[in-house]
Amino acid sequence: NKVEEFLKLELKKKNALLFVLIDSEVSNLEASSKLAKDVEKIGASAILVGGSSATDQIEMAQVVKGIKQGIKIPIILFPGNVTGVVPDADAILFSSLMNSENPYFITQAQALGAPNVLKFGLEPLPTAYLVIGEGTSAWFVGAARGIPFEKPKIAAAYALAAQFLGMRFVYLEAGSGAKSNVTPEMVKTVRHAFNGFLIVGGGIKDVKTAESLVNAGADALVIGTFLEKGGSISKLEEIAKAIQRSK
Ligand code: 1GP
């Protein structure tokens, strides 16, 4: 459990961690490699590669292999489907979209993808992936019955169920580029119910929001769109610094 141990060690040193999401279909190999190096320098703890719109497995494999050479922090796959399982990454958010209405995204894609996770030697991080709100790609593609933003207790009930099922990670996902991020109140309520590693992402792009989510109990924040839309590394560094120290 190398990556899981690494993340736990990181959490002993920092209050919360920054994960940067690279969508292999948005940035090309060269841009992705540079981005990965830059965000490692400013203190990101892991690079996630994937997303619900990334379906070109060949391109993703090339991007993963390419970035791997330039960085020391782990590459964690963030698959939207079986096509998100590629070689050369360190780990994979082996996720069940627990609030999907389609059993494919709860257990079937997992069964189809598992043999390759083993074959490629990827460390599976057992993750409950919970889609909050509506209207995003993750919500649509994953056929999610989005948990309303103002219903934190429902998210907490899913997180508790995830814990009882043995999952060690919960990912509260507002969706890439979401207009509103998951509320600190929801994070707090889930934190109360769930003992494992709590990831929060979707629509996070400023220091204040990031701090409030970390203060509410998030262990890691995922940021993708902010950089895709031209956000600066120095601003991301401010976010990284703020969440690593705030408590
Ligand atoms: C999406 O949670 C991640 O899956 C990141 O969201 O792209 O909005 O930063 P953003």
What is the structure's pLDDT at 51?
83
C-alpha span between 66 and 12 (Å, rounded) = 30
The total number of structural domains in the chain stands at 1
Q: Is residue 237 part of a domain?
A: yes
Q: Is the pLDDT of residue 227 over 90?
A: yes
Q: Is the pLDDT of residue 128 over 70?
A: yes
What are the backbone angles phi and psi of residue 171, rounded to the nearest 5°? -120, 110
Assess whether the C-beta atom of 224 lies below 6 angstroms from ligand 1: yes
What is the structure's pLDDT at 246?
61
Report ipTM for this prediction.
0.98
Mean pLDDT of 1-25: 95
C-alpha span between 123 and 28 (Å, rounded) = 25
Q: Is residue 9 part of a domain?
A: yes
- Best residue among 53, 173, 182, 205 to mutate for probing ligand 1's pocket (most ligand atoms within 8 Å of CB) is 173
Mean pLDDT of 118-143: 98
**Please, which pLDDT band fits residue 135 given cuts at 50, 70 and 90?**
very high
Domain encompassing residue 55: 2-127+198-245
Q: Is residue 62 part of a domain?
A: yes
What are the backbone angles phi and psi of residue 109, rounded to the nearest 5°? -60, -35
Q: Is residue 63 part of a domain?
A: yes
Ligand 1 nearest-atom number relative to CA 138? 4
Residue whose entry in the numeric block shows the structure tokens 């400013």: 42
Q: Is residue 102 part of a domain?
A: yes
**Please, which pLDDT band fits residue 23 given cuts at 50, 70 and 90?**
confident
Name the token pair of 165: 């099922």
Mean pLDDT of 152-174: 98
Assess whether the C-beta atom of 178 lies below 6 angstroms from ligand 1: yes
Residue whose entry in the numeric block shows the structure tokens 């894609």: 109
Mean pLDDT of the chain: 96
Distance of alpha carbon 102 from the chain centroid: 21
Q: Is residue 159 part of a domain?
A: no
Q: Is the pLDDT of residue 45 over 70?
A: yes
What is the CATH classification number for the domain harbouring 238? 3.20.20.390
Assess whether the C-beta atom of 84 lies below 6 angstroms from ligand 1: no
